[in-house]
Copies of this chain bind each other. A is one copy, B any other.
Amino acid sequence: MKKLSLEELGRPSVEEFQNQEKHRVIVILDNVRSALNVGSFFRTCDAFAIEALWLTGITATPPNREIQKTAIGATESVTWKHFGTTLEAVQHAKDLGYYAIGIEQTTASKHLNEVNVNDRSMVLVFGNEVNGVSEEVFPLLDECWEIPQSGTKHSLNVSVCGGIVLWFCVQGLRKV
């Protein structure tokens, strides 16, 4: 057993990545405070061939030194854009026919291990590190998901949460 080199991993170039099939998932970062978390989401969206990353409100955008620290180049491959408000971004995704899911602990959230992905186009909203998903978008959400937890803390780090939810989604989706 030996480690694989980057060549042996056979990763696509940026151009190949942009032309290849993607999972029909749009990720919205709703006023995320830490640019390190934003960069980490770029890297995860690259790894899992996610269609697009939408950054709203105060969420930092490339080029940004802290994003680069954790994205290590994935800002070049992942399709992204910025919206002034999360409401505008979620509404735009809904207009395009995406099913809207908030990743949030609410009175009506489904546990991640009990939801069905159903191979549909989805927009996933991840909220601010302290305040979570903006309540103004709640009326637009089709459902909320939460990761069941049994620890002392309120929640997981948002980029760790993003990794888990996106890993879960791509298991149930074909790329198109």
Contacts and interface: CB of A to CB of B under 8 A. Distances in A.
The residue in A17, A70, A154 that gathers the most chain B C-beta atoms within 10 A of its C-beta is A154
Interface of A: 1-4, 6, 9, 11-14, 17, 20, 36, 40, 43-49, 70, 72-74, 76-77, 104-108, 112-113, 132-133, 135, 138, 141, 144, 147, 149-157, 159-164, 167-168, 171
Given A138-B1, A159-B160, A153 B113 contact: no
Given A43-B157, A48-B149, 8 more contacts: A1-B108, A6-B154, A11-B153, A12-B152, A44-B156, A48-B150, A74-B152, A156-B163
Given A107-B1, A160-B163, A47 B153 contact: yes
Copies held by the complex: 2
Nearest to A156: B47
Contacts of A48: 149-151
B17 A152 contact: yes
A84 to B, nearest CB: 23
Contacts of A112: 167
Nearest to A40: B157
